[in-house]
């Protein structure tokens, strides 16, 4: 059988195209638009090969995390040896943290140019989910763009997963533009969040397409948990701050475009912004279009959004597909090197709101590595937004694990975003505006405003007794809270 002139290939043919040790680039940015059928075939193939004592492990690259088929199932089949640039599955996380899988955690806008420059070697096979492909090689992508346009140009061989579950009308949201390699780059003509500068399809050389695999499964996007009291308080502090900035004229009456990171807290902040009567209708220039944003569009609060993935539950995706005449004027999906492009973020004056696991008293942020050693997910797009935004906000609950962990610590044991890129930090306790403050002023503000009261005396004493130059630290104690947690299961065991 053939589709648009390309053969429909069997599992046997698929697995014969992908060899042990190959680098395989899959579509998907989060679970949105992720390849599904081929990873499942490869997991089964890996199990069979391993049962026969043969090695089968591949190097896996995607746009960002990639849902269960890759970060859980393929990992569970011990079929991944190397992974980039972000992940979000428990099985894979455990394998990375036990050194079974090598993991390259990277800024997401760098991924396409890193791969096309050959920094990661050859891409042997690309597996890309689409709603349609034409005989001349136009590929209409599904719920995410991510780095798929680059995979299609760089890979030696290509397999297309046609997902009949997604509407072909999703391509009405797409704006695909691949930057030429440096030094032949020109300004990118995105001067407002909804500007379109490219095409609704990606392109592939038809000769590289080995075949089509058909698929009929929705994206496995999970709903966020309900907003709790802590995330509501964080959201209220952020909203009050934005209103105050607006009132003082530091941001315009219609606000600057917002970016919101991933996670439950970020979703709660978006929902809170939507409900507040004094927040005017605004735009977003972000990375992931998440559930709360659809409600904001429906209520008229969100005028439009640029992203690279529609990370929304299947019912909400269907709502978009069924009302495309309306939503195609409100949502633009771009390749990740454009959605997260530092120059555009700076040009548009984006207000970036991201989430930390922990912050230190000087404003350095750890979003990725628990105790400095164990990866949670990765830096994701937080770095490019935080570093280039007009205003960079980081938020986190002040304590984790029932108070056994303080999210405000003397020194973070891993830095994703440093004090030079962080202007505002916020917990449910309060918001610390760090602009214009020197290190010791920052420490005082963060401890008194953001730290949980349980931990304030410890943190104040740490600063008071530290050895001071420009910054105060006690190098014998800067990780004492983390060491306590490792040894006693809580950061302040004697309290
Ligand atoms: O553990 O799941 O066992 O309960 O970490 O914590 O509070 O549910 O956090 O869902 O908001 O995610 C930083 C992980 C936050 C996410 C992170 C434990 C806590 C819980 C999760 P359990 P919450 P959220 C994209 C931006 C990096 C990438 C990024 C993330 C679990 O936001 O991956 O920003 N960000 N991309 O108990 C040990 C601490 C802890 C801790 C919390 N200090 N130490 N464990 N936990 N704090 C950019 C765009 O979209 C543009």
Binding-site positions for CoA read 377, 381, 401
User: How does pLDDT run across 207-239, given as a tens digit for each residue?
Assistant: 999 999 999 999 999 887 778 899 999 999 999
Which percentage of the chain shows pLDDT scores above 90?
93
Q: What is the pLDDT of residues 392-402, one digit of tens each?
A: 999 999 999 99
Task: Please report the atom of ligand 1 found closest to the CA of residue 367.
Answer: 13
From 110, 307, 355, mutation site for ligand 1 pocket: most ligand atoms within 8 A of C-beta:
355
For ligand 1, the distance from its centroid to the CA atom of residue 63, given in whole angstroms, is 19
CATH number of the domain within which 370 lies: 3.40.1080.10
Question: Residue 262: what pLDDT?
Answer: 77
**Token pair 């306590």 in the structure block, residue:** 484
Q: Look at residues 193, 271, 288 and name the one whose alpha carbon lies nearest to residue 234.
A: 271
Pocket test for ligand 1, best of 65, 109, 225, 263 (most atoms within 8 A of CB): 263
| One domain, residues 211 and 233 | no
pLDDT at 186: 92
- pLDDT, one tens digit per residue, over 311-327 is 999 999 999 999 999 99
pTM, two decimal places: 0.96
Q: Pick from 165, 192, 215: which residue ends a domain?
A: 215
Question: Is residue 115 a contact partner of residue 25, using CB atoms and an 8 Å limit?
Answer: yes
Domain identity same for 180 and 250 = no
Same domain, 329 and 468: yes
pLDDT value at residue 486: 97
- For every residue of 57-89, DSSP letters joined together read -EEEE-SS--HHIIIIIIHHTT-EEEEES----
Q: How far is the CA of 395 from the centre of ligand 1 (A)?
A: 10
H helices within 52-175, ranges in order?
67-68, 75-76, 90-97, 111-116, 148-154
- Between strands 351-355 and 258-260, the pairing is parallel
Q: Are 141 and 336 spatial neighbours (Cβ–Cβ below 8 Å)?
A: no
8 Å CB contact between 402 and 489: no
pLDDT of residue 2: 76
Q: List active site positions.
A: 287
Residue bearing the CA closest to ligand 1, atom 19: 400
pLDDT for residue 267 = 83
Shared-domain flag, residues 18 and 125: yes
The answer to whether residue 95 is domain-embedded is yes
Distance, in Å, from the CA atom of 175 to the CA atom of 465, rounded to the nearest integer, reads: 55
Expressed in angstroms and rounded, the spacing between residue 409 Cα and the centre of ligand 1 is 16
Please check whether residues 12 and 154 belong to one and the same domain: yes
> Would you call the peptide bond into 183 cis, given omega within 30 degrees of 0 as the criterion?
yes
Q: Which of 88, 103, 401, 486 to mutate to test the pocket of ligand 1 (most atoms within 8 A of CB)?
A: 401
Q: Are residues 194 and 241 in the same domain?
A: no
Same domain, 186 and 234: no
Residue at 151 is within a domain: yes
Backbone torsions φ then ψ of 197, nearest 5 degrees: -130, 0
224 part of a folded domain:
no
Q: How far apart are the first and last CA of the chain?
A: 70
The parent domain of residue 178 ranges over 2-215
Residue 481 has pLDDT above 90, yes or no: yes
How many angstroms does the Cα of residue 113 sit away from the middle of ligand 1? 28
Determine, yes or no, domain membership for 159. Answer: yes
Residues 100 and 50 in one domain: yes
- Predicted pLDDT of residue 227: 82
Query: How many domains does the chain divide into?
Result: 2
User: In this structure, are 278 and 412 located in the same domain?
Assistant: yes
Q: Report residues whose beta carbon is within 6 angstroms of any ligand 1 atom.
A: 259, 261-265, 286-288, 354-355, 357-358, 367-368, 370, 376-377, 380-382, 385, 397, 400-401, 405, 407
Q: Are residues 306 and 203 in the same domain?
A: no
């Amino acid at each position: 059988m053939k589709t648009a002139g390309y053969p429909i290939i069997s599992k046997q043919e698929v697995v014969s195209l992908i060899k042990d040790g190959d680098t395989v680039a899959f579509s998907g940015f989060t679970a949105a638009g992720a390849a599904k059928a081929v990873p499942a075939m490869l997991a089964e193939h890996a199990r069979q090969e391993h049962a026969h004592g043969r090695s089968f492990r591949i190097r896996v690259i995607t746009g960002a995390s990639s849902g269960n088929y890759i970060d859980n199932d393929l990992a569970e089949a011990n079929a991944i040896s190397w992974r980039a640039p972000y992940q979000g599955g428990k099985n894979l996380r455990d394998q990375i943290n036990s050194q079974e899988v090598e993991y390259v955690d990277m800024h997401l806008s760098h991924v396409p140019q890193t791969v096309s420059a050959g920094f990661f070697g050859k891409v042997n096979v690309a597996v890309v989910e689409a709603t349609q492909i034409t005989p001349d090689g136009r590929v209409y992508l599904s719920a995410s763009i991510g780095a798929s346009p680059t995979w299609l140009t760089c890979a030696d061989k290509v397999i297309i997963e046609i997902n009949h579950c997604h509407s072909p009308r999703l391509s009405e949201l797409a704006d695909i533009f691949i930057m030429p390699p440096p030094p032949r780059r020109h300004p990118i003509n995105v001067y407002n969040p909804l500007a379109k500068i490219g095409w609704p399809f990606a392109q592939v050389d038809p000769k590289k397409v080995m075949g089509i695999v058909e698929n009929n499964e929705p994206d496995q996007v999970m709903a966020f948990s309900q907003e709790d009291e802590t995330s509501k308080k964080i959201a209220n502090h952020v909203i009050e701050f934005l209103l105050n900035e607006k009132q003082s004229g530091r941001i315009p009456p219609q606000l600057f475009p917002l970016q919101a990171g991933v996670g439950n807290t970020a979703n709660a902040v978006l929902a809170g912004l939507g409900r507040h009567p004094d927040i005017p209708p605004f735009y977003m220039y972000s990375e992931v279009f998440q559930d709360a944003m659809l409600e904001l569009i429906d209520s008229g609060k969100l005028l439009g959004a640029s992203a690279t993935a529609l990370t929304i539950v299947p019912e909400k995706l269907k709502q978009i597909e069924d009302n495309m005449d309306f939503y195609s004027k409100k949502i633009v999906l771009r390749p990740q090197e454009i959605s997260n492009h530092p120059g555009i973020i700076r040009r548009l004056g984006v207000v970036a709101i991201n989430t930390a696991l922990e912050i230190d008293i000087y404003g350095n942020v750890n979003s990725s590595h628990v105790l400095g050693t164990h990866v949670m997910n990765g830096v994701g797009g937080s770095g490019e937004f935080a570093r280039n935004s007009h205003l960079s906000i980081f938020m986190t609950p002040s304590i984790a694990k029932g108070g056994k962990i303080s999210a405000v610590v003397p020194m973070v044991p891993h830095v994703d975003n440093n004090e030079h890129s962080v202007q505002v930090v916020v917990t449910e306790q309060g918001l610390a505006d760090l602009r214009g403050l020197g290190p010791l002023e920052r420490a005082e503000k963060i401890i008194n405003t953001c730290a949980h009261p349980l931990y304030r005396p410890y943190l104040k004493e740490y600063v008071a007794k530290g050895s001071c130059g420009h910054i105060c630290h006690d190098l014998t104690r800067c990780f004492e809270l983390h060491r306590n947690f490792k040894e006693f299961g809580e950061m302040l065991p004697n309290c």
